[in-house]
């Protein structure tokens, strides 16, 4: 008889209580309430990625100028759709950017099939489709950042750079990049104003 009672007690299955289920549902609901609003704005992620890419390219242009002991320039496209890295000679610093005659820095990661130039074009890169560059003002209103053979910024006249600002903006977020004079050090600030409407 004792073995039968013991066997019937062991056969009872353990299940979750109603309180335990309610606690799990409440935790999942709280997690969803916190995560879903932050995941809804994909443009914010696109903008952050564009900011990181630009900072990386600025650092590359500076180190490439140092490594090759020559001038490197980052030119920001007029329509706010991206930038490119070009080689410039000292006597060409004052000349305006001409895409037909520019000597682009080669990007080995892109290869010849994709043009092989070190450039970022938002119109051709879906990762940054919603992002635009606006308010570019470097060295008194120019659209380019130039590094000399010592890695310092210079103006179109060959004098030390005075720094500048530009804004990367999407419908969901905006970031201001401030470029320090001479060193080219970048400071990023998230703008809390209302982002512009979609392009």
Residue (of 193, 184, 173, 144) closest to 51 by Cα position: 173
31 shares its domain with 78: no
- Mean pLDDT lowest among 31-40, 70-79, 101-110: 31-40
93 shares its domain with 128: yes
117 shares its domain with 186: yes
32 shares its domain with 88: no
Measure the CA–CA gap between 145 and 143, rounded to whole angstroms. 7
pLDDT of amino acid 155: 92
Mean pLDDT of the chain: 84
* DSSP-assigned letter for residue 12: P
Are 87 and 74 in contact by the 8 Å Cβ rule? The answer is no
CA angle (184, 95, 131) in 5-degree steps? 55
- Tens digit of each residue's pLDDT (9 = 90 or more) over 141-175: 899 999 999 999 999 888 999 999 999 999 888 99
Q: Say whether pLDDT at 13 is over 70.
A: no
Measure the CA–CA gap between 178 and 160, rounded to whole angstroms. 16
pTM above threshold 0.85: no
Query: Structural domain tally of the chain?
Result: 2
Q: Say whether pLDDT at 195 is over 60.
A: no
- Does 198 fall in a domain? no
125 shares its domain with 152: yes
- Does 195 fall in a domain? no
82 shares its domain with 26: no
Return the CATH number at 151: 3.55.40.10
Please return the burial class of 60, using the count of CB atoms within 10 Å of its CB with bins 0-12, 13-18 and 19+: middle
8 shares its domain with 78: no
12 shares its domain with 107: no
Q: 142-145: long-range contacts at Cβ-Cβ below 8 A with a sequence spacing of 24 or more?
A: 143/75, 143/76, 143/78, 143/97, 144/73, 144/74, 144/75, 144/76, 144/97, 145/58, 145/61, 145/73, 145/74, 145/179, 145/184
9 shares its domain with 97: no
Q: Where in the sequence is the domain holding 29, given as residue range(s)?
A: 2-39
């Amino acid at each position: 008889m004792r073995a039968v009672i013991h066997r019937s007690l062991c056969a009872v299955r353990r299940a979750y209580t109603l309180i335990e289920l309610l606690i799990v549902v409440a935790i999942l609901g709280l997690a969803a309430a916190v995560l879903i609003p932050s995941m809804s704005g994909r443009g914010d992620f696109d903008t952050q990625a564009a900011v990181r890419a630009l900072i990386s390219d600025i650092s590359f242009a500076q180190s490439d100028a140092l490594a090759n002991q020559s001038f490197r320039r980052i030119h920001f496209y007029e329509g706010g759709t991206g930038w490119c890295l070009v080689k410039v000679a000292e006597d060409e610093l004052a000349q305006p950017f001409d895409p037909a005659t520019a000597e682009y820095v080669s990007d080995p990661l892109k290869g010849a099939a994709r043009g092989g130039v070190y450039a970022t074009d938002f119109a051709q890169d879906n990762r940054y489709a919603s992002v635009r560059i606006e308010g570019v003002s470097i060295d008194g209103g120019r659209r380019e950042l130039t590094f000399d053979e010592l890695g310092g910024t210079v103006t179109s006249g060959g004098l030390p750079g005075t720094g500048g600002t530009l804004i990367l903006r999407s419908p969901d977020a905006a970031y201001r990049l401030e470029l320090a004079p001479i060193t080219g050090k970048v400071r990023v600030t998230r703008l809390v104003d209302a982002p512009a409407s979609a392009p």
